[in-house]
Chains A and B, each alone.
Chain A
Amino acid sequence: MIERRKSIGRFRLARGVGVVLAGWAVCIFASPGSAAVEFARDIRPILSDNCFACHGPDAKHRKADLRLDTEAGLLAVRPGDSPRPAAVVPGKPDQSLLFQRITHADPDKRMPHKSSGKKLSPAQIGLIKRWIEEGATWQGHWAFITPTRPKLPDVGNDPWVRTQIDRFVLARLKAKGVQPKDEAERRALIRRVTFDLTGMPPTVREVEAFVNDKSADAYEKVVDRLLASPRFGEHMTRYWLDLARYGDTHGLHLDNYREMWPYRDWVINAFNANKRYDRFVIEQLAGDLLPNATLDDKVASGFNRAHVTTAEGGSIKEEVYVRNVVDRVSTTATVFMGLTAGCAVCHDHKFDPLTMRDYYGLFAYFNSLDGNPMDGNRKDPAPVERVPTAEQKQRIKTLNAQLAQVDADIRGKVAQVKYVEPVAPSEAEPPKPVEVVWIDDAAPGGANLQGNTPWQWVTKDKHPVFSGNRATRRQAKGLSQHFFDGAKSPLRVGKGDKLFAYVYLDPKDPPKEIMLQWNSGQWMHRAYWGQNVIPWGADNSTQRRPMGKLPKAGEWVRLEVDAQHVGLNPGALINGWAFTQHDGTVYWDKAGIVTMTDQKPAFDSLKRWVVYERSLPKPSMAASHAAVAAIVKLDDAKLNDAQRKQLTGYFIEYVYSGSRETFEPLHKRQADLKRQVTDIEKSYATTLVFKELAKPRDAFILKRGEYDQRGDKVGRATPEFLPPMAEGLPNNRLGFAKWLVDPSHPLTARVAVNRYWQQLFGVGLVKTSEDFGSQGEPPSHPQLLDWLAVDFRESGWDVKRMMKQLVMSATYRQSAKATPAQYKADPENRMLARGPRFRLDAEMLRDQALAVADLLVEKIGGPSVKPPQPDGLWFAVGYSGSNTVRFKADTDDKIYRRSVYTFWKRTSPPPQMTAFDARSREECTPRRERTNTAMQALLLMNEPQYFEAGRRLAEAAMRSGNNPKARVAFMIQKALKRPATARDFDDLLGDHAFFQSVYLKDPESAKALIAVGESKPDASLNPGELAALTMVASTIMNSDEFVTKP
């Protein structure tokens, strides 16, 4: 209740701010390039950077009781015992304390104080002076005010304009007197947009089709095709994984494998299904809290489990818990709100109005995970969900259908049997010894499987199997065993019975000793073969009977033991069996008893069977037939019709001698199907999810952010300076997520569209896409950002529509060709006077190389894959006991998958990615650097997969043409998506001749060269020629044109 009241108060405050700001909004937005000094654009950044640290929101560290981040602090007379004049007196710089102090003659009094290391430039001082002279109009921080759809700038009827976006861009350019570029050539354009929407290059055919398409909507058709491609989702996901700090290992200490790829696949599917962004946010932050949460919703909630975790010995649980929650809060704030909340872990934010109380209010939403903060070095630290793949789902569906069929079959057949109690039950025939198999392909029902390590079932394809489909295998150093007890239908021992089992000893790794043990209520019955090294039981008694030498290795041998010899006398019930060995590798198969005692007696009389059942210590039926077990005990006379029917049905299906032949095969089939279902279910991938504790954990302000320095207890609350949570929302993560996507939220939509912009244009409209606070850069085109944000929200948060809107603009479609002077004047293209041109990201580079080489294997989703990387990278850093200390490359198709599927070990990420500025994913990364280094050159020239791609391109060229010119032309076309020019031939044919002269003379080098990579070279091609052409291909694939988005 208290929080609700606070929220209402806050709402008033926020509205008040809005009113104050209405005026400035018009001013800043309506006159781009206006000469007037604007507080929000020109002054606040100076004050924030130079003054707020001591005169800002952080009350605890505020100096001289002077506050410059609020209107009151700047312009109001300062209260106190003797009120002091305002820091700024509009129109009068000389009377303004602020101006006096930044221009003070005494260096000790001049601000910013020299101890801060900050200094104002004369230009900055001039701006402040002008701002005061012009009336010192104050404006709130732009990003904290809910955006409204701005009026479109009037740029007349300029034919350059294609979309509304272009009006904003053109207005700005016109004000600066700069001309935008015309549309890029079609080949460049389709290459650019295909990279931007799918992360891959277009095919030659797609390029030529577009070039030749004369229809007015040729480009739009391309865009629509790309947005519909499943590659779109893979590409968009790649950026999201940087934000979500997704990795395939824990990231700290042991850095073991951590299974979460179903979350990655969820993101891909979300983008491909064009999930609304608001749903995308809600499901990731609180999917588990949605009413009737689906498995997908829960998988999505893994977003806030993706942070790094540890189980380092010695770690203090509480400290790890706090770190985990801090990561969740900071990441959530950065990703969805562009806020650098991390500062407020230890103190009130120095620059933005985010207090520690605000921070820990957010903390309280994310601290109640129902799971241990330590990851236990497991791949699946709870809470997790098991997630079937589509394939697995299909298999299960098929098996269940088959099971249902068998069930129906059984039911039908039970109904057909007309059981009549015989007048004179037949006397049982004199029994003959029969072999009763107890263990074959599975342990008997109810068995509780145990062992030093789990039971290892192996199949015929790779191992010896004696009977059925599988056998068990055990490899041991010293004593080791697998066993069970608790079998539901025990073996009944009769006079003269023999126990048997089949064994196969690995001739390369024989054991010292093997032993069988039986449980008759106690494990007191043992027989062994080989050396007497297993010390259990009294030697040479029924507790440890020597049976002679080890059986012959390398073949299946039947072992037999007289039951009485090991103390199992007539009437004994065996409920457990152990397969024990010392050293070696041993396989076991088919085991049971040769007996004259009927194990599961068939009865031709229901009455006799009931009598028999009642004589047992407990009824013989499985747990699923508990109802029948209960009925059996009842007095026959008291049974109602339904009960009688149930009893009879069971009898017919399981016991009646007259129908055993009918039902036994069906039961076997049923058991087999059920086992297959269980096996598949056991192989489901796991993925980390969020799950709330039944009772939330208390949250406290932590002094200086220290886990053990608890201050005030705090409840869940959204930050004071942002609009309040709507009435009626639950005050939990779900409410929080819905608050984020409420139309009143000033940040969420802006931050999202800005990232899409950054993705396409290289730099966001707000360059600091991770920081929309006052230390972030103000937007280059504030109106455009707001227009896009409102449009995005009002379109129903339609991501594909937004991406389409951006790439349809004339701004995006501009040519990137410019003069060096133009590039120099605006290196980051903030004015947008040319098309976006920059080096492709790591993933796009690799995918492009694989694509032009026709090596790429496209398949959506699944476990992460390990393309080859240089030996020893993991080993050089890994903890000796980590399960990712040694890298083993995958083989076959897996090494040619798209890079979004590459296995990400966070303490040693894939070098093909990090060399091109991919970050480690140890923390949220809203944008990557884009560097240009010698290491990158070495990688592109020498990395085996890139080099192999060159060879594959050369092979295709050789098959397509029979002279160097045609082959070079082919490669240029396939790699650069344009016809070769005379200059290309000038450049490359001479080199080709040189390479040819080298490799025709040196076939050994040629053969070594074309053997690089995992795929085999085309044996029909001359190695010398192929080697020479491979070098030309590699040249093209190292060119700036190839590695850069045009």
Chain B
Amino acid sequence: MHPIDEYIQLETRRQFFGRGAKGLGLAALGSLMGANALPAGAATGAASTGRPDVPHFKPKAKRAIYLFMSGAPAQMDMYDYKPKMADWFDKDLPDSVRKGQRLTTMTSGQSRFPIAPSIYKFKQYGQSGAWISDLLPYTASMADDLAIVKTVHTEAINHDPAITYIQTGRQIPGQPSLGAWLSYGLGSMNNDLPSFIVMNATWTAKRDAQALYNRLWGSGFLASKHAGAMLRRTGDPVLYLRNPAGVSDAVRQRMIKSVNRMNERLYKEVGDPETHTRIAQYEMAGRMQHSIPDLVDLRDEPKHILDMYGPDVHKAGTFARSCLLARRMMERDVRFVQVFHRGWDQHGALPRDLPLQCRDIDQPSHALIQDLKQRGLLDDTLVVWGGEFGRTVYCQGKLTKTNYGRDHHPRCFTIWMAGAGIKGGVVHGETDDFSYNIVQDPVHIRDLNATILHTLGIDHERMSVKHQGLDVRLTGVEQATPIWPIMT
């Protein structure tokens, strides 16, 4: 049995807390401790406030979800329709297109660069007439909710630097991640849950998946409390959340009370305000022991909602389950949720693996947007979908009519955004016939991050922290501009 399910069943059996009392809150704890035990200020929790100057202006979005496709999805097989390539099968990519572009050393040694046209059919959808491939029927059906950006670009050409770059603003480790910046800047809206939660979904492509790194949701040089809390698919949903075996909730509450009483006494003796903060943190820990199981307990989800997300929703750790959990987090005002889905690195056997990957994400992404929308949450929630770079139109490895692979391509790739602050039914930017170079409206990954920050009420230029003598920003030192045309 899955540990989380097991936990829920155990809780039910024990009936320590009826469902109504699950969110045993501060008030209840306070009364356990006696009226005077609670220090002033502890009630708000230390993690709840952001930076005083933030938001810089009225935000469109209060929270956000980032669906991250790690490995780099092939844009020309999904969104960037290139019909002319049909005539280019197995012909060499013209040098005039490549323009000496640097290649990874996986294909720089290839004697030729034969073009592999997408084998997938594309149709136009919605008012915008967005071209979307048959791999994504559900996503296609919500074309008018999305702003599709086909011209995102980066400089990094390998996974580790590229994903570190888009997540932290720098290719080498050490900087805070996007979510950490948001937690630091905006603070938390829910005292009982972390402000930044990360999920790491399972995937079905059959090849080795690229690694992820804790730094991708790390706090860099910011305080470690801003790091993303990993909601795990095995064991405790949050590290060390569950009591040791044999420790019931009543015993735990009594112990927290006891610890805090000792600390309160020590505070009177020594006077260090950190002792008070610790009292508040122990209270929050106690609350999290209920709020998180409550968050992951899906028994209150009706069948029609579960069905929306597709059959995978019944399996722990899937992208579908993660999307449903992300919606539940939005309901609970978690500030930022990031779902990592791996397996998109189709160097070979793309026709075998890409449909599997698309199937993983298509219906759940659609369900997430529709579910948020029907609850009115999409009005103040931003959703972003995308990877770390794109893939080449030319084939890596052996090209046949039915099989091909694609190498890394930093010069253009497709992402989409939806929800608060974003215009629906927009396609932004254009690439050349080869999906190789951008011909109109380039969007650097810095611009993308500036857009996300802006939507949440943050001016990316003003959101800086002094570190090693520099004003460090998520968007770095070079020019970055939000993608105004897709923003409301």
Give residues in A with beta carbon < 8 Å to B: 117, 251-255, 308, 310, 312-317, 323, 327, 334, 340, 342-343, 350-352, 708, 768, 770-771, 773-776, 816-820, 822-824, 827, 837-839, 870-872, 876-882, 907-909, 911, 914-917, 920, 922-923, 929, 931-939, 941-944, 947, 983-984, 987-988, 991, 994-995, 998-999, 1004-1012, 1027, 1031, 1034-1036, 1038-1041, 1043-1044
Q: Are B239 and A915 in contact (CB under 8 A)?
A: yes
Once bound together, how far apart are the Cα atoms of A922 and B468, in whole Å? Answer: 16
A832 to B236, CA, bound (A): 43
Complex Cα–Cα for A378 and B104 (A):
21
A879 near B209 with CB under 8 A, answer: yes
Quote the shortest CB–CB distance from A708 to chain B (angstroms).
8
Give which listed residue, A316, A770, A935, contacts B225 with CB less than 8 A: A935
| Given known A-B contacts A314-B408, A878-B211, A1007-B246, A252 and B282 have beta carbons under 8 A apart | no
Does B272 count as interface, using CB distance less than 8 angstroms?
A: yes
Most buried by B among A253, A334, A999, A1011: A253
Asked whether B35 is an interface residue with its Cβ less than 8 Å from the other chain, the reply is no
Which residues does chain A contribute within 8 Å of B270, judged by CB atoms? Answer: 816-818, 837
CB nearest to B407 among chain A residues: A314
Could you say which of B158, B244, B263, B461 contacts A1039, with CB atoms under 8 Å apart?
A: B263
A96 → chain B closest CB, angstroms: 26
Which residue of chain A lies nearest to B200 when distances are taken between CB atoms in the complex? A876
Top-10 shortest CB links A-B: A1009-B246, A314-B104, A775-B469, A922-B173, A1008-B246, A937-B285, A879-B211, A934-B284, A1008-B245, A907-B213
With both beta carbons as reference points, the residue of chain B lying nearest to A932 in the complex is identified as: B277
The contact string, 1 if C-beta is below 8 Å from chain A, for chain B 226-241, is 0101101111101111
CB of B235 within 8 A of CB of A876, answer no
Is B335 engaged at the interface, CB distance under 8 Å to the other chain?
no
- Other-chain contact of A907, B215, B229, B258, B277 (Cβ < 8 Å): B215
In the complex, how many residues of chain B place their beta carbon closer than 8 angstroms to a beta carbon of chain A? 86
Instruction: Report chain B residues within 8 Å CB of A1010.
Output: 246
Cα–Cα distance between A947 and B255 once the two chains are bound (Å) = 13
Q: Check B271 against A343 for contact (C-beta < 8 Å).
A: no
A1007 to B285: give the CA distance in the assembly, Å.
Answer: 25
Report if A877-B275 is in contact (Cβ < 8 Å); known contacts: A818-B270, A983-B265, A987-B258. Answer: no
Residues of B within 8 A of A994 (CB): 254
> Across the interface, do A933 and B214 meet the contact criterion of CB distance under 8 Å?
no
B242 partner residues in chain A, CB cutoff 8 A: 942
Q: 12 pairs across A/B with beta carbons < 8 Å?
A: A308-B172, A350-B470, A775-B470, A817-B271, A929-B223, A937-B278, A937-B284, A941-B255, A1009-B244, A1038-B259, A1039-B259, A1044-B275
In the complex, chain A residues whose CB is within 8 Å of the CB of B267: 1040
Partner of B282, one of A308, A880, A988, A1038: A1038
Is A934 a contact of B160 with CB atoms below 8 Å?
no
Contact between B258 and A313, CB atoms less than 8 A apart: no
Determine if B119 is an interface residue (Cβ-Cβ < 8 Å).
no
Q: Which residues of A contact B461 (CB under 8 A)?
A: 117
Q: Is the CB of B214 within 8 A of A932?
A: no
Closest residue of B by beta carbon distance from A351: B469
CB-CB under 8 A for A1039 and B266, given A932-B277, A937-B281, A1005-B246 = yes
Give Cα distance in the complex from A923 to B262, angstroms.
39
Partner of A770, one of B250, B255, B468: B468
Which of A771, A870, A987 touches B261 (beta carbons < 8 Å)? A987
Contacts of B272 in A (CB 8 A): 816, 818, 823, 837, 1040, 1044
CB-defined interface of B349-387 with A at 8 Å, one 1/0 digit per residue?
Answer: 000000000000000000000000000000000000000
Q: Please, which residues of chain B bring their CB within 8 A of the CB of A323?
A: 172
Could you tell me the distance in whole angstroms from the C-beta of B17 to the nearest C-beta in chain A?
A: 16
Partner of A313, one of B106, B200, B218: B106
Q: For A1004, what are the chain B residues with a Cβ–Cβ distance below 8 Å?
A: 246
Give residues 262-319 of B contacting A (CB, 8 Å): 262-263, 265-267, 269-275, 277-278, 281-282, 284-285, 288-289
CA distance A999 to B288 in the complex (A): 25
A935 neighbours in B (Cβ, 8 Å): 194, 225, 229, 238-240, 285
Contact, CB under 8 Å: B174 / A923: yes
Q: Is the CB of A1009 within 8 A of B245?
A: yes
A-contact 0/1 string along B174-195, CB 8 Å cutoff: 1000000000000000000010
Residue of chain B at shortest CB distance from A905: B214
Asked whether B398 is an interface residue with its Cβ less than 8 Å from the other chain, the reply is no
Q: Given the known A-B contacts A314-B106, A1007-B246, are A917 and B277 also in contact in the complex, defined by CB atoms under 8 Å? A: no
User: Pick the contact of A352 from B102, B289, B469 — CB < 8 Å?
Assistant: B469
Question: Smallest CB–CB gap between A846 and chain B, Å?
Answer: 13
B46 within 8 A of A: yes
Q: Which of A776, A819, A933, A1011 contacts B47 (CB 8 A)?
A: A933
Residues of A within 8 A of B225 (CB): 931, 933, 935
Decide yes or no whether B10 CB sits under 8 A from chain A: no
A133 to B282 alpha-carbon distance, docked (Å): 54
Contact A313 B105 (CB under 8 A): yes
Given A938-B238, A1044-B274, output 6 extra A-B contacts at Cβ < 8 Å: A775-B470, A870-B236, A871-B235, A932-B46, A938-B285, A1035-B262
B151 to chain A, nearest CB (A): 22
B212 at the interface (CB under 8 A from A): yes
Alpha-carbon distance A327/B173, docked complex (angstroms): 11
B251 within 8 A of A: yes
Chain A residues with CB under 8 A of B285: 934-935, 937-938, 941
CB distance from A206 to the nearest CB of B (A): 23
Q: Is the CB of B157 within 8 A of A314?
A: yes
Neighbour of A824 across the interface among B209, B244, B265, B273, CB < 8 A: B273
Q: Does B462 sit within 8 A of A, measured CB to CB?
A: yes
A718–B471 Cα distance when bound, in Å, is: 26
* B208, closest chain A residue (CB): A880
Whether B141 is near chain A, meaning CB under 8 Å from some CB there, is: no
Chain B residues near A317 (CB-CB < 8 A): 105
- Given known A871-B235, A1009-B247, contact A876–B274 (CB-CB < 8 A): no
Chain A positions within 8 Å of B332 at CB level: none
A870 contacts B200, CB within 8 Å? no
B-side contacts of A911, CB under 8 Å: 239-240
The answer on a CB contact under 8 Å between A938 and B288 is yes
Residues of A within 8 A of B251 (CB): 995, 998, 1031
A923 B173 Cβ-Cβ under 8 A: yes
Chain A residue nearest to B236 (CB atoms) is: A870
Given A773-B469, A1041-B266, A943 contacting B254 (CB threshold 8 A)? no
B173 A315 Cβ-Cβ under 8 A: no
Of all chain A residues, the one with the shortest Cβ separation from B172 is A323
Q: Judge if B159 is at the interface, Cβ distance under 8 Å.
A: yes
- Whose C-beta in chain B lies nearest to the C-beta of A48? B469
Contact B240 A818 (CB under 8 A): no
Residue of A773, A876, A881 near B208 (CB, 8 A) is A881
Alpha-carbon distance A1004/B194, docked complex (angstroms): 34
Any A CB within 8 A of the CB of B402:
no
- Which of A872, A987, A1005, A1043 sits near B248, CB closer than 8 Å? A1005
**B440 at interface (Cβ–Cβ under 8 A)?**
no
B245 to A, closest residue via Cβ: A1008
Contact partner of A312 (CB less than 8 A), chosen from B159, B173, B208, B229, is B159
* B466 located at the interface, meaning its Cβ lies under 8 Å from any Cβ of chain A in the complex: yes
| Any A CB within 8 A of the CB of B123 | no
> Roughly how many angstroms separate A168 CA and B106 CA in the complex, as a whole number?
62
B44 within 8 A of A: no
Q: Which residues of A contact B464 (CB under 8 A)?
A: 117
Q: Which residue of chain A lies nearest to B257 when distances are taken between CB atoms in the complex?
A: A991
Q: Would you call B266 and A342 a contact (CB within 8 A)? A: no
The answer, yes or no, to whether B400 is at the interface (CB within 8 Å) is no
Are B275 and A1040 within 8 A (Cβ)?
yes
Contacts of A823 in B (CB 8 A): 271-273
Do B262 and A933 touch (CB < 8 A)? no
| Closest Cβ neighbor of A1013 among chain B residues | B244
A343 adjacent to B470 (CB under 8 Å): yes
Q: With A and B bound together, what is the CA distance between A887 and B233 in angstroms?
A: 16
Query: In the complex the two chains form, is A820's CB within 8 Å of B259's CB?
Result: no
Cα of A923 to Cα of B470 in the assembled complex, Å? 17
